[in-house]
Amino acid sequence: MLKLALIGLGYWGRNYLRVLKQIPDVNLAYVYDTDQNKLLRSKDVIARSLEEIIEDKEINAVIIATPASTHYEIGKKLIESNKHVLIEKPLTMKYEEALELAKLAKIKNRVLMVGHIYCYNSAINYMKEIIKEERLGKLYYGFGLRCGFGPIRYDASCTWDLATHDLAMLDYLLEDFPIEIQASATYFLRKGVYDYANINLSYENGFIFNLTVSWYAAEKIRSWYLIGSERMLKFDDTNKNNPIVIYNKRVKEEKLGEYSEIKMLESEAVIPYINYEEPLLLQVMHFLECIKENKKPLSDARQGARIVKLLELIDEAILKGERIKISKDNVEQ
């Protein structure tokens, strides 16, 4: 039985706490948060300090669900003390820091995993299969919308908080890094912390993806559309029963003498059965499995570092106000 600690009892921390209690072979030794009010509401064993967790040699693994700006410092201390670590996204706030943690974990032979929850979503894994088998045909473009009314962060913009999910999804589905980025963002609530952003990514094979994110919107929307030469796909993460719809729609060009005509072809849409299992539970179970079997995590530190690099490039594109080109040679794969 693994002895584990949870650091952070905010939005994600409370969810981690809930799923940890569903896993029988876990001994949750400590929970800790700097907010004493959150600790007072907890019925679990409370650590007196972060150092108590770091210094406890019986603790095998730690889940970090603290503000993004603290991930690097806490993660480094825990890995140095020979603990396996799962860090909620983003891995760090700087690419060089993410690479440092990845290298440190390799030296220490510790599992370092990032909370890219959509890598453990059954609908996303169905999408990955469809893309791999080219059932949509050649992918032309896609667009996504991730918005809602909070939670609002103060140490990270909506790009680093919300867009991280979609960037990790793209990385997982396409197994590729964009070659061009154009982005714009603005803030309304707190100076310097973006509340709204629009991101456009271009890939070497011609695929384009446009993403809009905001935490200051009237309703919660988590939708993606992928447009291919043979079919189109919609993913709606708020629809747990039918998260995916495949539209049998395409166009066909027919020659009419010297001219040609574009015909719109369509047939009945398909709603595939997706066996829903809670992604966060699957993510934590995968973390524990990687520790026990010394396996490389699906959302490992290298993926975490790539997403941090992409977020830095998006910030650069926002500040420059122009499309920037990317050399994939500068991104460790």
Place of tokens 């806490």: 74
DSSP labels for 140-177? EEEEEEEEEE-PPPSSS-HIIIIIHHHHHHHHHHH---
How are beta strands 180-186 and 324-325 bridged, if at all? antiparallel
pLDDT above 70 as % of the chain: 100
In contact, 98 and 73? CB cutoff 8 Å: no
| pLDDT computed for residue 329 by the predictor | 78
Confidence at 269, pLDDT banded by 50, 70, 90: very high
Q: How far apart (Å, rounded) are the C-alpha atoms in residues 265 and 305?
A: 42
Mean pLDDT of the region 278-286: 98
Confidence at 333, pLDDT banded by 50, 70, 90: low
Q: How far apart (Å, rounded) are the C-alpha atoms in residues 232 and 251?
A: 11
**117, two tokens:** 């929850």
pTM of this structure: 0.94
Confidence at 306, pLDDT banded by 50, 70, 90: very high
| pLDDT computed for residue 37 by the predictor | 83
* Superfamily, domain 119-279+308-330: Dihydrodipicolinate Reductase; domain 2 (3.30.360.10)
The predicted-structure confidence for 187-237, as pLDDT tens digits, reads as follows 999 999 999 999 999 999 999 999 999 999 999 999 999 999 999 999 999
The predicted-structure confidence for 2-34, as pLDDT tens digits, reads as follows 999 999 999 999 999 999 999 998 999 999 999
Q: Is 74 left (phi over 0), alpha (psi -120 to 50) or beta?
A: alpha
Mean pLDDT of the region 293-317: 97
pLDDT exceeds 80 at position 330: no
The domain limits of the chain are 2-114, 119-279+308-330
Residues facing residue 254 across a β-bridge: 261
pLDDT above 90 as % of the chain: 87
pLDDT exceeds 70 at position 167: yes
Integer-rounded Cα radius of gyration of the chain: 21
* Sequence-ordered alpha helix ranges (H) in 2-94: 11-20, 36-40, 50-55, 71-80
pLDDT exceeds 80 at position 96: yes
Place of tokens 């997403």: 307
- Of the ranges 116-125, 136-145, 322-331, which one carries the lowest mean pLDDT score? 322-331
Q: Is the peptide bond before 151 cis (omega within 30 degrees of 0)?
A: yes
| pLDDT computed for residue 135 by the predictor | 97
* Phi, psi for 221 (deg, rounded to 5): -130, 130
Q: How many CB atoms lie within 10 A of CB 108?
A: 15
pLDDT exceeds 80 at position 53: yes
Mean pLDDT of the region 110-115: 98
Q: Does domain 2-114 have CATH number 3.40.50.300?
A: no
The predicted-structure confidence for 227-261, as pLDDT tens digits, reads as follows 999 999 999 999 999 999 999 999 988 887 788 88
| pLDDT computed for residue 87 by the predictor | 98
Mean pLDDT of the region 131-156: 96
| pLDDT computed for residue 38 by the predictor | 84
| pLDDT computed for residue 56 by the predictor | 96
Distances (CA, A) of 30 to 46, 56, 148: 5, 10, 32
Q: Does this chain's domain 2-114 share its CATH topology with 119-279+308-330?
A: no
Q: How far apart (Å, rounded) are the C-alpha atoms in residues 217 and 83?
A: 39
Helix, strand, coil % in the chain, rounded to nearest 5:
35, 30, 35
Burial of 294 (0-12, 13-18, 19+ CB in 10 A): exposed
Mean pLDDT of the region 88-93: 97
Q: How many CB atoms lie within 10 A of CB 318?
A: 20
Confidence at 46, pLDDT banded by 50, 70, 90: confident
**Which residue, 205, 34, 188, 23, is CA-closest to 197?**
188
